[in-house]
Amino acid sequence: MRRATRTRSRASWLKRAVIATSLALIAPLCTAVVGTVPTASAAFNPDGFDFWVDTEMGPIKSRIFRAADGNTDRVVYALDGMRARDDLNGWEIETEVSRALTAANINVVMPVGGQSSFYLDWATRSTFLGLDSLGGSSTGSAAIGSAAIGSAVAPTDVAGKRNRYVWETTLTQTLPAALQSQLGFSRTNNGVFGLSMGGSAALTLAAYYPQQFSFAGSFSGFLNISAPGMREALRAAMISAGGFNIDAMATPWSPQWLRIDPFVFAPQLQANGTRLWVAAGSALPGPGDISGPAEVVQGMPLEALSLAGTRAFELRMRSIGANNITYSYPATGIHNWKNWENEVYQMIPDLSAHIG
């Protein structure tokens, strides 16, 4: 009996040691690929209201901003980045895009939550070597993860850890059905856009749900995730952004992994005739982009990574004759909200012309 207890203790210790060692090895990479660098602070917008739906993940909130003319046919979904919070969507916290969109007579749906989810239906809930959290505690303590990467790890009772992420189902079935029945919002010819993680997700949703999404915008998205080194870069980022395990989302080179790679499913977007707006900054800072070392260490390398994948995606689309796309490559711009907010303002006329 004692021997069995010692064996279990040794196995538990080994799991923690492996995790700690792995995190220590990828910590430098996390510094470069960790999430976003905020440069604005719009915060709560009283023009919006909370809209809740019950899902397999539990109650999920969205923030709704109504079109100025009161129409219900023109709808756009605004997706957050990898460090999505559970109180407000980053587009509301950091930008004023909701006001510009509603002034253009577009209803805005901002889903709240989904940290590191890529807005997908995951294969399973997130664990590491059988442990519920990086620190191995069922209470959400994450000492190992916090020490290794200098970032708070989401507790184990959040969606994606206590249960499986089902964001794709939520955004294409549960939420639009509720919006239609309660607010009269159209479920067809909607738009969807997002930044970073949300940019990749916007193209994924448009590829597989063309009736719902006739327009998709990606800002600094990861559009070639099967490129060498990309999976491990995203693995590091997802550990930093909440302590989520990429293998729970999709195992390496599985059909699910290839299904969510924009470079792979590019022909589907062409076949759908989806109108796209695809953007990435140069990774060179412009006026006001640099206010401290974080922008240099995080914002510039991550935008360079996004730019490389976006350029590869462009070549892929051009190689198959896809031309229903606007590409935007500003001369300056790093991985931050200033860059993404500016892109939305430029995109609005094109979005407006292709939804509803």
Phi, psi of 77 (to 5 degrees): -100, 130
Question: In this structure, what DSSP letter does residue 198 have?
Answer: H
Q: What whole-number distance in Å separates Cα of residue 26 and Cα of residue 240?
A: 10
Active site residues: 196, 303, 335
Distance, in Å, from the CA atom of 304 to the CA atom of 144, rounded to the nearest integer, reads 29
Angle between helices 262-272 and 300-319 (to 10 degrees): 50
**What is the distance between the terminal CA atoms of the chain, rounded to a whole angstrom?**
68
Distance of alpha carbon 320 from the chain centroid: 27
Show Cβ contacts of residue 221 under 8 Å, excluding neighbours closer than 6 positions: 194, 195, 196, 197, 198, 199, 200, 202, 203, 262, 278, 280, 306, 309, 310
CB 62 within 8 A of CB 51: yes
**DSSP conformation class of 46:** T
Query: Which residues touch 46 (CB under 8 Å, ≥6 apart)?
Result: none
Instruction: State the amino acid at position 296 in one-letter form.
Output: V
